[in-house]
Structure 1
Amino acid sequence: MAETVQVPNYAYGLGLLAFPLGLFVYSKVFPSHAKKINRKFTAWMCSKMMPRVHAKCIPQKKALFQSFDLLYDSKPLEVLEIGVGPGSNLDFLPAGCNLSCLEPNLENQPYVEQALKDCPDVHFSRFVKGFAEDMREFDDNTFDAVILTFTLCSVRHLQKALSEIKRVLKSGGLFFFMEHVAAPRNSGHRRVQETLDWVWPVVVDGCHLARESWSFVEQTGFTSVKLEHFRIKMLPFLSYGLYGYGVK
């Protein structure tokens, strides 16, 4: 009869600590390979998580993207999506538009290409690796619309990114945004957000919980800004949402 071996409780804790420690050591010994694995994992994780987040915001997304009607004319619209991820907004783009994507992680491109197969009326122009803070690949006054959803939370230099968005928009063009944002000041949820913000960006790819993104949009100098606050059915400290658009 086999003897039962009792595993001390502390052994499980050591195991949990060993995994991230092992990843840290691996990233130092094989930095380029570790970064590649991280990019692939982040893209895969995004493809699983973001459709669920977007599914909780369907009424707000419908209301937001109805504003494309303000841009309709005889020419196909030129649209830029920043931080396109797996392509969760493609179903809401107007038929016949030309889509360009700016994305820091090129591992997302296969997911976007797969999603485009279900959106034959959206014409794919190009997929550019880059960040919103520096869009030198695009000329001034290039796009009729710029879309950015659940991305402002992780932009490193928010005001610089918004200035770049305004630069590449045509006169009268629209900047569409949807984000999770900071809870009301002095609320319990806001205190939780501010506490977690010490570590959350490290764990969740640069995401900040307590950003008052609306104030940055309002200070960018758009001709007009329309925005709405709403609640998302997620964890309480992640449940504060914002959507709207700015007109150049």
Structure 2
Amino acid sequence: MKMALHILFFQICVGIIALPIHILALLGLWDPIAKKAFPYLLDRITRTFNKYMKDHKKELFSNMSDFKGPSGELKVLELGCGTGANFQFYPSGCKVTCVDPNPNFKSFLSKSLAESDHVHFEEFLIAPGENMPQVASGSMDVVVCTLVLCSVNNIEKILAEIYRVLKPGGVYYFLEHVTADPSSWNYFFQIILDPTWKHIGDGCQLTKETWKYLEKSKFSEVKLRHIIAPFKWSPVKPHIIGYALK
């Protein structure tokens, strides 16, 4: 009870500091602002993220070429592509289709594509990962979804869509920040920041147990491990990383 009161007190303190954001959100005015501003913020964040997580990403995507189809093509679908921060880690010649519900990210992709000319860009689709009828069932060799499940409303539904669009034997790569150990200070700060963080992070929630959804999914094999990102003073240090096979 005492701990709950402490958490509530600090949540209120953070809420007061971010009061203009909460008021705009209550009035329905914050979301349009955040949709336009978030790509600029994410562009800086992902460059820093790649600096510290480069080795993890290289390892994660190291065998992507093994999933080429019989024709020798590698069709990749990236959900929540953001600014294209993963392109540099993809194998040469892969054909990438990007899906993101925020149309404001499209202009940022050109910069990443210019820096990753080994990637063949197919198209940018504006759609949520939970519902993307533009992508045919069984049409993709690879699906990539990183730092996205924290902000989706229905994880089961997006995992079902990933499963649907993958070819038999296809692979889904993931890297997601998750909730911290409940006995840790990191978790304490996640709980305090969560009510405000979701507005700043375009729906991002800090305390999701994302691995539980993956473990219950329809994939034939799920390989994941928990890691701690080397970020100082960050509420998003705990991550899961791995892949799932259809």
Output the TM-score relative to the length of structure 1: 0.83
**For residues 187-233 of structure 1, what are the alpha-carbon distances to aligned partners after superposition, in whole Å with 9 as ceiling and x for unaligned?**
33223323332332123211111111111111111110111211112
Inter-partner Cα distance in structure 2 for 1:96 and 1:21? 43
Aligned to 1:24: 24
Q: Which residue of 2 aligns with 1:241?
A: 239
CA distance in 2, matches of 1:42, 1:21: 14
1:54 paired with 2:50, answer yes
Structure 1 residue 157 displacement after superposition: 0.7
TM-aligned CA deviation for residue 137 of structure 1:
1.1
Residue of structure 2 equivalent to 1:216: 213
User: Cα distance 1:21–1:57, how it changes in 2: closer, same or farther (>3 A)?
Assistant: closer
Give matches, 1:37-186, under 5 Å: 37-72=33-68, 74-186=71-183
Which has the higher Rg, Structure 1 or Structure 2? Answer: 1
How far apart in 2 are the matches of 1:153 and 1:122?
27
**What SS is found at the alignment partner of 2:218?**
coil
Q: How many residues align?
A: 228
SS in 2 for 1:51: helix
Match of 1:9 in 2: none
Deviates more, 1:122-131 or 1:16-25: 16-25
Give distance in 2, aligned partners of 1:85 and 1:228.
Answer: 24
Whole-angstrom distance in 2 between the partners of 1:17 and 1:242: 31
Q: Which residue of 2 aligns with 1:3?
A: none
State the TM-score, normalizing by the size of structure 2.
Answer: 0.84
- AA aligned opposite 2:225: E
Q: 1:17 to 1:231 in 2, by over 3 A?
A: closer
Shift of 1:98: 0.9
For residues 222 and 21 of structure 1, the distance between their equivalents in structure 2, rounded to whole angstroms, comes to 39
CA RMSD of aligned residues (A): 2.4
Deviation at 1:146, TM superposition (A): 0.5
Residue by residue over 1:16-71, the C-alpha shift from the partner in whole angstroms, topping out at 9 and shown as x without a partner, is 9799279839x76xx6xx76543221111111111111221111111100121431
How is 1:194-213 mapped onto 2 (pairs within 5 angstroms)? 194-213=191-210
Q: Structure 1, residues 91-147: CA drift from partner, whole Å, max 9, x if none?
A: 111111111000111111111112111222211111010101111111110100010
Higher RCO, 1 vs 2 (CA within 8 Å, ≥6 residues apart): 2
Q: Is there any run of 5+ residues in structure 1 with no aligned partner, and where?
A: 1-15
C-alpha separation between the residues in 2 aligned to 1:87 and 1:152? Answer: 17
